[in-house]
Chain A
Amino acid sequence: GEDVEQSLFLSVREGDSSVINCTYTDSSSTYLYWYKQEPGAGLQLLTYIFSNMDMKQDQRLTVLLNKKDKHLSLRIADTQTGDSAIYFCAEDKAAGNKLTFGGGTRVLVKP
């Protein structure tokens, strides 16, 4: 199976919170990342978390990491229509930036 798994789709109302979940398999991963991809565009790094942390907050974004369950989540507070995009989690399995990506979660924000 895939090394990094995400749910395919999330629909949320504008102003609500969004939670995107990700599971990974490699316990030796040192960093875990969240990227955003808008239609026809490249990937934008949103945030990342070091594996010895449980939580990281950056403005509207909160990342939670459960190492025991190898579960990563991204919470977007006060979701806006501009947050509609595909969100990818990724892990690094080795030194450097050779990243393993999940299949992406398509987030649709409804007004």
Chain B
Amino acid sequence: NAGVMQNPRHLVRRRGQEARLRCSPMKGHSHVYWYRQLPEEGLKFMVYLQKENIIDESGMPKERFSAEFPKEGPSILRIQQVVRGDSAAYFCASSPREGAGTEAFFGQGTRLTVV
């Protein structure tokens, strides 16, 4: 059973371009979470999705950021018109169900660099 797979591992974008980050949860997991880690900081919650639904997007910036988790395929975090401040590591986590104490498994992250 493969773990949470994120790709690409590293992504370089010029200012103004779009970045698309993909996350395939563990098999059997229908709950996906995205976190952002700025340099030298902890992880900050961005969004929580279940299949075809956004459950909680309270941590998403109001503009340029969007996320989806379609019925088929990976979850996508999209950042439009990237700026230097978007440079960070973006981590995806998945769990088989909701509920405190349910272990969330993290992917290895996508490190986005905006030049």
Contacts and interface: CB of A to CB of B under 8 A. Distances in A.
A interface, how many residues as a size bin? 20 to 34
A97 B91 contact: no
Interface stretch (B11-19, B43-51, B64-72, B80-88): B43-51
Given A97-B31, A102-B42, A42 B99 contact: no
A100 B104 CA distance: 13
Given A42-B91, A42-B108, A101 B101 contact: no
A100 B45 contact: yes
B98 interface: yes
A21 to B, nearest CB: 15
B103 interface: yes
Interface in A29-44: 30-31, 35, 41-44
A80 to B, nearest CB: 22
A23 to B, nearest CB: 14
A42 B106 contact: yes
Contact of A95 (B40, B44, B98, B105): B98
B89 to A, nearest CB: 9
Interface string B23-61: 000000001010100001111110010000001100000
Given A41-B108, A42-B91, A43-B91, A48 B42 contact: no
Interface of A: 4, 30-31, 35, 41-45, 48, 50, 88, 90, 92, 94-104
Given A43-B93, A98-B45, 15 more contacts: A42-B4, A42-B91, A42-B106, A42-B108, A50-B101, A88-B42, A96-B55, A96-B99, A97-B93, A97-B100, A98-B33, A99-B45, A101-B44, A103-B42, A104-B42
